[in-house]
Amino acid sequence: MDQIQMTLLEQITGLHEVPAGAYNIRANGESVQRSTTAHIDIVTKEDKPGIDIIIRPGTKNESVHIPVVLSQSGLTEMVYNDFHIGEDCDVTIVAGCGIHNGGDRDSKHDGIHSFYVGKGSRIRYVEKHYGSGEGTGERIMNPITNVELAENSYMEMETVQIKGVDSTKRITNATIGDGAKLIITERLMTHGSQYAESEFNVDLNGIDSSTNVISRAVAKDDSRQLFLAKINGNQKCAGHSECDAIIMGNAKISAVPEITANCVDAELIHEAAIGKIAGEQLIKLMTLGLTEAQAEEQIVNGFLK
């Protein structure tokens, strides 16, 4: 890998070297490095681009990193990654995509990640998106995440996109089984003329299933964002969605929460709040010696942390 690719990798994984445990690094449309462990196997798909990640039942305290970097302007790819997670696992999965576009043609990565989480397993899934490069070509990412949670399993999904992605359309579909729980935390910042759309469809199908979808977003300049959160309560269950957004400059944000109770014991709540930074917050930080611009930055960074 070259320097640009290493920088991208560092941005999305926070790692300065190859990760420990299982990993698969994809660069400019090809798998360039892979490592498996006794419990985690990674197999290239035969019928389409992508990999199968197979995690054996009972695998604990292991991690899988599957970063993707694109540094070749004009590259467009569609990748399928399927995670087959056995019963009673406890693993951390780190994905993410970094695009450096120094040219004038659009670069695009569309990833479809499917998670089949076995009974009683606990998964932490972290996904970071990052774009860089001075080229006029756009950096585009359209991730789709499908999640199936079996009985009493638990998944925590953290997604972050705070720099350099021109256009993104993200869809997360989940079905939650008996006693299972899905927590989604999304952090999103757009600036310039970027556009971001994030859609969540969660079906609470199991008895005592639950979900919490939390989005924190900041839209600056002329950027636009659309947040859609649909939760269907089909059993005795608990669902909560929350969109909290700061709007600045000429940006536009829409939040469209939708909750449907198909069972009398479904308890569903949605909350959405959009507004500019409160003037008194800026004033408070200015009384501590910060300029207005520094105060704004402090508030936005804290909000997205």
Partner 1 sequence: MLELVNLSFQVPDSTGKPKEIIKNINLTLKDHTLTAITGPNGGGKSTLAKLIMGIERPTSGRILFDGLDITDMSITERANAGISFAFQQPVRFKGVKVKDLITLAAGSKLSTAGACEYLSKVGLCARDYINRDVDGSLSGGELKRIEIATIIARNTPLSVFDEPEAGIDLWSFNNLIKVFEALHETSENSLLIISHQERILNIADEIVVIADGLVKAQGPKDSILPELLNGTEGCKFYQ
Question: Residues in the site for partner 1, rule: CB under 8 A?
Answer: 216, 244, 278, 280-281, 283-292, 298-299, 301-305
Q: Which is nearer to partner 1, 46 or 289 (CB)?
A: 289
Of residues 199, 67, 209, 239, the one with CA closest to residue 148: 209
The total number of residues written for the chain in this structure: 305
Q: Which is nearer to partner 1, 48 or 305 (CB)?
A: 305
Q: Which is nearer to partner 1, 197 or 244 (CB)?
A: 244
Cα distances (Å, whole numbers) of residue 149 to 36, 86, 89, 202, 270: 24, 11, 13, 11, 22
Q: How far is the CB of 302 from partner 1 (least distance, A)?
A: 3
State the Cα–Cα distance between residues 251 and 275, nearest whole angstrom. Answer: 11
CB–CB of 185/154 below 8 Å? no
Q: How far is the CB of 72 from partner 1 (least distance, A)?
A: 37
C-alpha gyration radius of the chain: 20
Amino acid letter, residue 84: H
Q: How far is the CB of 216 from partner 1 (least distance, A)?
A: 8
Q: Which is nearer to partner 1, 30 or 289 (CB)?
A: 289
Q: How far is the CB of 154 from partner 1 (least distance, A)?
A: 24
DSSP state of 71: -
Q: How far is the CB of 99 from partner 1 (least distance, A)?
A: 27
With a CB cutoff of 8 Å and minimum separation 6, the contacts of 228 are 197, 198, 199, 200, 256, 257, 258
With a CB cutoff of 8 Å and minimum separation 6, the contacts of 301 are none
Q: How far is the CB of 222 from partner 1 (least distance, A)?
A: 24
State the Cα–Cα distance between residues 9 and 7, nearest whole angstrom. Answer: 5
